[in-house]
Amino acid sequence: MNVEGRHYRTIWTEGGGDDETLYIIDQTALPHTFRILPLHSVEDVCRAIREMWVRGAGLIGATAAWGVWVAARTAPEQGFSEFMTQSMEKLRVTRPTASNLVWALERQKKAMAGLSGKEAERAAHAEAAAITDEDAQFCRRIGVHGLGLIQKLHERHPERPVNILTHCNAGWLAFVDYGSALSPVYAAFDAGIPVHVWVDETRPRNQGASLTAWELCRHGVPHDLIADNVGGHLMQHGMVDMVITGADRVTRCGDAANKIGTYLKALAAADNNVPFYIALPSSTFDFSLCDGVRDIPIEERNADEVRVMSGLSERGEVERVCICPPETPARNWAFDVTPARLITGLITERGVCEASEEGILSLYPEQRGI
């Protein structure tokens, strides 16, 4: 993604040798401030994931992978193995729902097996770089495969834009580059297909309003911000051609965990015969699970995310305000699970498939029997 004339990924390093430094974009400052932060320690990386300076399944995985490299370069010579085990556990517990995090840590464990010191550091760096490049490449391919679906919808109604509804942010900011749900949108827009995006605000953290809208503005894609509860109304009146969202974990049978409120969009889409797609790279699959509603862990976050909102005041200052009586308690489940029966298809880096075990295994046959 280009920001003020410079291309950025969401995580990168600068410098070399002992001076090489890991950098991220602080997503909590968007859309009002574009701020870059260095991460110098495992504690920095854990805080970045836990406090959502970085967020989104793919980026969480990539950040965890780089966190292992940061740990390796700061680990003591004596007790190296114990330090790395403790550091990986700190990273693992930062966010429980996204499968990419544990997937990235497992890849790093294999890459560093039997190594220590500088050898382990070099192996961790190489694997983190590979995971980062792979995430960007997979998301680019998701865009290619999703472009075909948007093209078919455009051919049905060439006289108007294809109206796409999305929930939360599954764009460039949620991955290393391109994104999952927004990658087909960018691919279609760049190919000259007229598209328009309905952007759910996505409370309580408003990732749609603050991140998706910011991205679409940067890319020039036509869009409108809507309240979370408007989607069903738009579908009833034929104003949505398709829904595309991302996911934080998808089971081998096609159930998908995504930002809270996704399930309701899927129900509305099913009731109005609107195609509902989940876009994801293979790192988001959890082939060890089948029943997502029963088995996917759902993170419950701080209640103040529901009770308190932030925004730009008339004075041009970012302020926090309480939107309920001070004594009112709140609950804050961050994700819900959409059953496979409500999902039209999954858009992956290998193609589009049905949200079913056989559909998924047709693209990932190496997972049979696991």
Residue 356 neighbours by CB under 8 Å, 6+ apart: 253, 254, 340
Q: Residue 11: which H helix or E strand, with range?
A: strand 11-14
Could you list the active site residues? Answer: 248
Residue 86: burial class (beta carbons within 10 Å; 0-12, 13-18, 19+): middle
Encoded amino acid at 331, one letter = R
Q: Where are the alpha helices (DSSP H) in the chain?
A: 42-50, 57-74, 80-92, 99-112, 117-156, 183-190, 207, 213-219, 231-236, 262-271, 292-295, 304-307, 357-363
Residue 147: burial class (beta carbons within 10 Å; 0-12, 13-18, 19+): buried
Block residue for tokens 């007229």: 194
Residue 7 neighbours by CB under 8 Å, 6+ apart: 1
283/104 Cα distance (integer angstroms): 8
328/357 Cα distance (integer angstroms): 43
Helix axes 117-156, 99-112, angle to 10 degrees: 140
241 φ, ψ (degrees, to nearest 5)? -90, -30
Helix (H, G, I), strand (E, B) or coil at 199: strand
213/200 Cα distance (integer angstroms): 9
Encoded amino acid at 91, one letter = L
